[in-house]
Structure 1
């Protein structure tokens, strides 16, 4: 049940971004900016805004050649909570897609969510669908090779 709720939140956020508040990029909190600079030195920040009084959401490209948006969540004091992205299937490490389809014959991947938090290892969540449009979720911890592929994108 917990995974279904998390997936629902991630999918709705990936599909429809909440409208950004009118704030200049230079006003991104310094601590959050330091985390972005340290972990994604080539990041191109599109926007950021408060989700509520305690969380900040920053939307960015990992670099100017990247084709997909990444989102990071920070507490209001700049503590990193999580980072995720909806990846195009063509940019998802092959071993992740193979693992998902091998474990679920008759299903094909339709969406891939990459997620990382301080509490757990980086993880891929693959939404699979069959011909009857029934969807299931496949979760995979990242292998070292997969994380290096992601970092290269």
Structure 2
């Protein structure tokens, strides 16, 4: 793929990511409103607790912001730079944290609520196939970032030979 085509593809993906980020922030804000109104807001329902939803949305929004930065760099012609790799690592890290928050926070919030009420406490985690795939994808992106660092090192080495 030529550089202009790569830049064009990066721009399209960046715009799509901006749209997704706006939607996640909107849904996170709605979850926060539901939490502050006691869940009585008409036509707005959240799955799970609003605290977990807001925390997960915030972490994933930071991940998408790092992806947007990386794509903007690629649009500008930076492909194998330290900044691009750093943004890819940041995207991977915050995606991983968002997935872990979506799995770990709901049972922790339920446990805290049960303890506060003085009732019987049980702790159970619900992890599904999509969560495992997201964890694997985040781990794979960390590996891809390492590959990019190695590719840059080899390119630098080869340029010094000539």
- Find the structure with the greater CA-based Rg: 2
For Structure 1 versus Structure 2, the TM-score category normalised by the shorter chain is under 0.3
Higher strand share: 1
Higher helix share: 2
What TM-score does the superposition give when structure 1 sets the normalisation length?
A: 0.25
Query: Higher RCO, 1 or 2 (CA under 8 Å, sep at least 6)?
Result: 2
